[in-house]
Structure 1
């Protein structure tokens, strides 16, 4: 197997803590598996002023693409730390070096970007050194060997390719045994072999990648500019990191987020100078001159977007925006509030108590007043972020109902093996058919669910989902992404797709997904944070280990075994994980499971 605190006050508290640089939040886990609404206006206005000046420091960068690697027992969402990242000194070519040694030496030197890859360029002929563009991307290999080509002085570097990092830091992973052949031509220069023809980019071994590259989180906005949506990239840790981050932000979101998120920066915005200098802790971001025509609102959104992205490099304390070397004035704007990072959920969970919907909080359970659901024998309930609308399935999973205290229950969907419902913060509840009849998802607008007419609904059938057996589908707490589990038998794909919406928030499509894992059989998933999910096999037989998959780590993190695991639920972070068994509910404390909540079934936090 490889590979949020409660209510508006909590959201404001989280945002304040973030703006003060006191909270570190955290995409890459193993490929083989291996809010509430608005907060207090006064707080948010204060935050706008704080973020216009302060950059968050010492907060860990998030990443965004789970990859292959062994599963290990772990306590949380941690990114691999670069070792000797600032002190890597590759060797220059030695006199009389063989052709093989020149090739291997060149690619080893490509692990250091110091002085524009100065050492690596020593292995190239003068013309090749001038034209070689290292920044176009990096190939990361498990093993490599030099092979002779068809003609004299032609060679091929044959790689067992592990990862592919493009020029924007987006990682694509490859299974073991994926070969990539990199052609080169050598020539003698003053009696020494040098590389005279080669493709752009660098090639490095996997262990060097793990030492030299770190995950950093870019942020984009949901279309309402309410939430900051993470987009994890991988860059060499060093003096060029801030420049790489800004260039990637300006280039736009990763493919799985395109259409689901927006940027404050207009298309085509570029750096006026090919660097982002950091002077006395201030990152000076000089952009193309047309931004002088930007509005105050847009400027604040741009500043916020770069501020939270540049918090990871420890030397950055604040950000200054310039356009054509002219400092942009940042007049106050009451209309601009900092986006919510890592949105939270209320502390209580909806559940089932003796065939009635219940509320479970602080080890106590009580029935939802004003609702009688006994005749429906409910299962898999969900509750909206506004905490006043519920959805649940009947015991046979053949009907989806929506309910609200004091209002009539309403059936909104029938079928076979329906998916457990999930609310997004925009007020839509999602479900669909699993099994062989799957391949589509349906969302219902809860705002008009209880009138005489059926609620507005949208059915999505993306090409990549057709014919798939969908096991679970859960919306992220920013509403821009959906976690989908597909597969059958012992194999499950864990995917994250972007949710494309109309201007009024109506879902209208899903992006091509980002694979998080592909391997072990899992049946339920839950969001732990904006960059981490929990998946598990909830069949109830034997002992199963829930698994954490992170967008910012190569390694899946396996939790302690649970005997008879029947369900999972997650609140705000890894310290807020619950599992259901035949004997009741248990919470994760440290690396053990503490029993509580006898009689509580199918608990689920808002969403």
Structure 2
């Protein structure tokens, strides 16, 4: 390994058996040629901490540039070492804050030689943008692989070369971003439903600057929802609510209670509003910490007296989450809608399919191709086998089948008819017509109202191949097909109200939900506002992965995804009784219980779904 200038080295600390071992990093970078690559960390290792090294005395301009770019990847949230590479004025004014530019790989750098600059040499840094993280810590994937470019101006200050114009955001490779930042959901209300708003916070604790993950999450929650979700959700916290002045960090007591002192803006809220505030906070921090948190107490601005508190059970009532499903549903070989008891998921007990109750338990006037069941499991929406009619049927009593469909399609081919339907927790029914002559997304209010055609901004000429409304009713996942390729997008559902000023229901601001995948086969909403996606990356194999709704990838993946043509996950967040993932493959209906392997539970069948 070639020796490098001190300014270009980074120090990495590894936790090994409680002993901190400091290693001087020695990056393998070219020392000759026009383009020089600043490599990101190799892989993601949460055990590794990276610290920048200050510039050497009389360091050359290329060493300053290289050292600064590496120092930006350090675990120092205040970037004190990176600032040492800047002029005094630039160091004082540089405030990248929480904004981050995420690149697919490291930065390329080259000296600008096309024109003479009297102030000093200039270096251009370039890369391919993967995503940006905005001032509200929200992740936004790049759709078209835009190029990143910034020109650094070097000047001499006190006979030392320094950078006068640092980038306006942190610039990190994907691996460095994943090492430094972690995803967490903060929660806001849409009506009575609690909605996950994914953001990224730094993983490393720095209590002196409020940079521990818990405090960051609370501060992000108080600052309000992301720009994308903001038009359709509300925070229960009064405008201007912040942590009590002087609060440096938040921690739990021996009873797993988090006490949060707020400023005077929260002094005069009612108890119901206060408990909604505490519910937002409990779910946001619990998403970060898992099961360690049992209760949240909000404190007055004196930091001592209580405003209100909520525990798990109280918050669950306020949050309006869908109840845990009792059954899993699919269409059997006889084209009937059937169900299986989920509790029969153990390997030594094979679940048995039974016809759903109500009119569908008797011979129906038509065969079924797909279905959706309401969250209370009292009604089903079924699409006829030819795909031309959508019917809503009670799953109780012995009443007759409905007289006619609520939505019809005139598509000539099976792929040009109705998609599988989907319910949201408000009881609205969604379906898309793939007929090239009359394409459209339809919403049936309450499952019984007059169907409304929903405008989808940015759909252009793409066809909706499949859809799934989120339980909270403010997002919809759309599988869009263009030139034989299917990609996954999430849109924001805007309804007529005083906040949106909308005249009708519409879907706005489509954004890619699985940009890493070249082709998507199937998808489903999953707990904590995530998506479970089956697809393949470019020149890759088929895989099933959990994705955040913002399009960033979650590490968890499922085994043996090849051959899956459909997939479904229960959105219930009952941690004590997690439900198996269900899929459809050539083997029939298959289940993947937590911690187990796929197993066939029904030979044949198709279109497996959970309520929703």
TM normalised by structure 2 equals 0.74
Map of 1:83 onto structure 2 = 47
Shift of residue 445, structure 1, vs aligned partner: 2.9
Aligned pairs for 1:140-159 within 5 A: 140-141=102-103, 142-149=105-112, 150=115, 151-152=117-118, 153-159=120-126
Aligned counterpart for 1:245 among listed residues 217, 227, 238: 217
Aligned counterpart for 2:65 among listed residues 89, 93, 103: 103
Aligned counterpart for 1:479 among listed residues 441, 460, 473: 473
Aligned counterpart for 1:231 among listed residues 198, 222, 226: 198
Asked if structure 2 preserves the Cα contact closer than 8 Å seen for 1:522 and 1:536, the reply is yes
Shift of residue 342, structure 1, vs aligned partner: 8.2
Q: Secondary structure at the match of 1:106?
A: helix
Map of 1:578 onto structure 2 = 582
Q: Secondary structure at the match of 1:432?
A: strand
CA RMSD, 1 decimal: 3.7
Asked if structure 2 preserves the Cα contact closer than 8 Å seen for 1:547 and 1:556, the reply is no
Does residue 463 (structure 1) correspond to residue 457 (structure 2)? The answer is yes
Map of 1:397 onto structure 2 = 387
Shift in alpha-carbon separation, 1:352–1:382, aligned structure 2, 3 A: farther
Aligned pairs for 1:443-592 within 5 A: 443-446=443-446, 449=448, 455-502=449-496, 508-518=505-515, 519-536=517-534, 545=542, 547-551=544-548, 553=553, 557=557, 559-563=559-563, 565-571=564-570, 576-581=580-585, 584-588=588-592, 592=597
Shift in alpha-carbon separation, 1:425–1:198, aligned structure 2, 3 A: same
Q: Secondary structure at the match of 1:107?
A: helix
Shift of residue 378, structure 1, vs aligned partner: 1.5
Matches of 2:157 and 2:524 in 1, distance apart?
59
Aligned counterpart for 1:596 among listed residues 589, 601, 604: 601
Shift in alpha-carbon separation, 1:509–1:252, aligned structure 2, 3 A: farther
Matches of 1:157 and 1:270 in 2, distance apart?
40
Asked if structure 2 preserves the Cα contact closer than 8 Å seen for 1:277 and 1:284, the reply is no
Shift of residue 471, structure 1, vs aligned partner: 0.7
Shift of residue 381, structure 1, vs aligned partner: 1.6
Asked if structure 1 preserves the Cα contact closer than 8 Å seen for 2:187 and 2:194, the reply is no
Map of 2:23 onto structure 1 = none
Aligned counterpart for 2:281 among listed residues 306, 314, 336: 306
Q: Between Structure 1 and Structure 2, how many residues are aligned? A: 515
Shift of residue 456, structure 1, vs aligned partner: 3.3
Asked if structure 1 preserves the Cα contact closer than 8 Å seen for 2:244 and 2:303, the reply is no
Asked if structure 1 preserves the Cα contact closer than 8 Å seen for 2:327 and 2:340, the reply is no
Aligned counterpart for 2:176 among listed residues 208, 211, 217: 208
Does residue 606 (structure 1) correspond to residue 611 (structure 2)? The answer is yes
Asked if structure 2 preserves the Cα contact closer than 8 Å seen for 1:272 and 1:288, the reply is yes
Shift in alpha-carbon separation, 1:418–1:169, aligned structure 2, 3 A: same
Aligned pairs for 1:110-509 within 5 A: 110-112=72-74, 114=76, 116-141=78-103, 142-149=105-112, 150=115, 151-152=117-118, 153-160=120-127, 161-174=129-142, 178-224=146-192, 226-239=193-206, 240=211, 241-271=213-243, 273=245, 276-278=248-250, 285-311=260-286, 312=288, 321-322=298-299, 324-325=301-302, 329-331=306-308, 337-339=317-319, 344-352=324-332, 354-361=334-341, 362=344, 363-371=351-359, 372=362, 374-404=364-394, 405=396, 406-409=399-402, 410-415=404-409, 416=411, 417-434=417-434, 436-437=436-437, 440-446=440-446, 449=448, 455-502=449-496, 508-509=505-506
Asked if structure 1 preserves the Cα contact closer than 8 Å seen for 2:457 and 2:508, the reply is no
Matches of 2:490 and 2:134 in 1, distance apart?
20
Shift of residue 196, structure 1, vs aligned partner: 2.6
Matches of 2:298 and 2:158 in 1, distance apart?
48
Shift in alpha-carbon separation, 1:204–1:350, aligned structure 2, 3 A: closer
Q: Secondary structure at the match of 2:200?
A: strand
Shift in alpha-carbon separation, 1:133–1:493, aligned structure 2, 3 A: same
Shift in alpha-carbon separation, 1:509–1:327, aligned structure 2, 3 A: farther
Shift of residue 554, structure 1, vs aligned partner: 5.2
Shift of residue 369, structure 1, vs aligned partner: 3.8
Q: Secondary structure at the match of 2:279?
A: helix
Q: Secondary structure at the match of 1:595?
A: strand
**Structure having the higher Rg:** 2
Matches of 1:317 and 1:352 in 2, distance apart?
42
Asked if structure 1 preserves the Cα contact closer than 8 Å seen for 2:196 and 2:529, the reply is no
Structure 1: state its 5+ residue gaps: 1-78, 450-454
Asked if structure 1 preserves the Cα contact closer than 8 Å seen for 2:322 and 2:425, the reply is no
Of residues 256-265 and 571-580 in structure 1, the stretch that sits farther from structure 2 once superposed is: 571-580
Q: Secondary structure at the match of 2:353?
A: strand
Shift of residue 169, structure 1, vs aligned partner: 1.8
Shift of residue 268, structure 1, vs aligned partner: 4.0
TM normalised by structure 1 equals 0.74
Matches of 1:100 and 1:418 in 2, distance apart?
60
Structure 2: state its 5+ residue gaps: 1-42, 345-350, 412-416, 573-577
